[in-house]
Structure 1
């Protein structure tokens, strides 16, 4: 009907594989496996559930505490409940105030060694999406067949970059995009992009004497360069990182939600800088079936996680997740960079 739209429901196991989507926790591990909502409704009917209001719990948990303390407090709360079925309703347990601060970093050692991360894999839908496009992403010699490396593998010669525009840019000619808002409030990098082993640190000009919601020209310039780089700034950063990494990259994959004009300008600048036109691939150039199209962002992430070198946006949650995937699957901080 006019004015209505259908919401696409995507099952977890189309996005990823591992314990989070119902796979085993590992050999001889008897922890309960994740189940579908349909099965949950059967084994835990409403009459048998303990409903926890997260808003009420968060009033008791110090919102300014480190992530590990917040996790410990929640874990104790859950362990002390006698009910076998517990449902959490209300606010986020780990909200963007935590994720956007260094307080989240206290969770890193526990998080990266947990089975949900150690056993995390791409779904078959995502793997097939990557496999179908490997010939675009790597150099093929003679009879060599394109292949998809394992999650812990590397697509040699590939530079993967993440360019976030859309809501980050806002309306053309207006300072109403997300990057401008980040600058006005002095937001630091987000999530795992803040890890101390990362080479590229948040280093904005001082906000001394600058009121909240405002920025100086110098602060604005810093945020736009690192959050919303122009095609020429992208080229300059790529050159800089290539010099530092001493890598020989032949292909480039641009994961993006950018407007066509920006992509055309970027492609032109890349070719002018020596990249072969046929070796420049964007999200829009990928060949995906209907299943992979529905999880195209995850296909982008799977490619970026395997790229020999990656450059992303330090304020983006997508970049943060790619950083996590790279650092937990054998890629190095030196090959995992930010604008």
Structure 2
């Protein structure tokens, strides 16, 4: 199936590129394209050239597929590989009481338990985001994909229309605290999330004591942040670079971070990140409390 054929197919499905993006929802495209493929009398179909799903199909339009996806084996039979589980099990002393480790591989896959009680995990993406957050501001992007469920407690403070109707200089203060927060902003945000989580249940029933940072931050940033978090009352602070990883596991260390984020009692993500979005998708599949999914 070449580029010209895909263009015709996209027109047939109603996927017409306009200023506001595809005319069809992602679910409509998925259902129609699946039906089209089932009608082809061949065991192999190759797509070349253009795309059936455009970039904007994976924005908040993808939420239309949730009712299909949550019933799919892709989610309800999902399990981490032994390599990934091995990393988490070996490093349990960083996350909490080893004796209370609720290994999800031994539970029904749709069980609501998070598995790592008392742990707050947060995704602090640095690296390429040092430049990319500025790009996002220029593009007046907003949270999309699995970071945009209406039932989430936290929302990006600007709508797409609001972001597009103000200048870059006016937008910037809205973007950086959520995309590339300073040490002070992270400490304050996690303090607020911890307090709100603990106040959201009868006294003493929910306590966050440990923090785990999924991060590729520079050493100076990490050292200062750990010191400031400990001073703010966290009993223990660990991060990606603290994981003890054996040679065969090196290629899946990010997956271990995702598993920790998935099973933490509370997860605080970066709304502009696809890694955060995938962790939130897995948390939604496990039916965790909605107020346990937060954003910077």
TM-score range normalised by the length of the shorter chain: 0.7 to 0.9
Cα deviation, residue 90, structure 1: 3.9
Distance in 1 between the 2:241 and 2:274 partners? 21
Please tell me whether residue 188 in structure 1 is matched to residue 145 in structure 2: no
Distance in 1 between the 2:38 and 2:2 partners? 13
Distance in 1 between the 2:42 and 2:279 partners? 37
C-alpha RMSD over aligned residues: 2.0
2:241 is aligned, of 253, 267, 284, to: 284
Contact 2:140 2:164 in 1 (8 A): no
- Residue of structure 1 in register with 2:82 after alignment: 124
Residues 134 and 92 of structure 1: is their aligned pair in 2 closer, same or farther, counting only changes over 3 Å? Answer: farther
1:84 is aligned, of 40, 43, 47, to: 43
Indicate the structure with greater helix content: 2
State how 1:153-164 maps to structure 2 within 5 Å.
153=113, 154-164=115-125
- Residue of structure 2 in register with 1:137 after alignment: 95
- Residue of structure 1 in register with 2:192 after alignment: 240
- Residue of structure 1 in register with 2:18 after alignment: none
Aligned pair count?
Answer: 272
Distance in 1 between the 2:94 and 2:286 partners? 23
Residues 238 and 145 of structure 1: is their aligned pair in 2 closer, same or farther, counting only changes over 3 Å? Answer: closer
Cα deviation, residue 124, structure 1: 1.0
TM-score (norm 2): 0.85
Cα deviation, residue 225, structure 1: 0.6
Residues 165 and 78 of structure 1: is their aligned pair in 2 closer, same or farther, counting only changes over 3 Å? Answer: same
Please tell me whether residue 261 in structure 1 is matched to residue 261 in structure 2: no
Residues 112 and 147 of structure 1: is their aligned pair in 2 closer, same or farther, counting only changes over 3 Å? Answer: closer
1:221 is aligned, of 173, 197, 212, to: 173
Q: Secondary structure at the match of 2:288?
A: coil
Structure 1's unaligned 5+ residue stretches are 1-50, 170-176
- Residue of structure 1 in register with 2:260 after alignment: 303
Distance in 2 between the 1:86 and 1:314 partners? 35
- Residue of structure 2 in register with 1:97 after alignment: 56
Distance in 1 between the 2:74 and 2:104 partners? 21
Q: Secondary structure at the match of 2:211?
A: strand
Which deviates more from structure 2 when the two are superposed, residues 80-89 or residues 315-324?
Answer: 80-89
Structure number with the bigger relative contact order (C-alpha 8 A, sep ≥ 6) is 2
The superposition leaves residues 131-160 of structure 1 with CA deviations (integer Å, 9 ceiling, x where unpaired) of: 1111221035xxx48663446442011111
Residues 91 and 121 of structure 1: is their aligned pair in 2 closer, same or farther, counting only changes over 3 Å? Answer: farther
Residues 55 and 139 of structure 1: is their aligned pair in 2 closer, same or farther, counting only changes over 3 Å? Answer: same
Contact 1:190 1:317 in 2 (8 A): no
Q: Secondary structure at the match of 1:121?
A: coil
Once superposed, which parts of structure 1, at least 4 consecutive aligned residues long, lie more than 6 Å away? none
Q: Secondary structure at the match of 1:310?
A: strand
Cα deviation, residue 91, structure 1: 4.6
Which deviates more from structure 2 when the two are superposed, residues 64-73 or residues 54-63?
Answer: 54-63
- Residue of structure 2 in register with 1:148 after alignment: 103
Q: Secondary structure at the match of 1:309?
A: strand
- Residue of structure 2 in register with 1:30 after alignment: none
Q: Secondary structure at the match of 2:287?
A: coil
- Residue of structure 1 in register with 2:233 after alignment: 274
The superposition leaves residues 292-327 of structure 1 with CA deviations (integer Å, 9 ceiling, x where unpaired) of: 211111010001100001000011000000000001
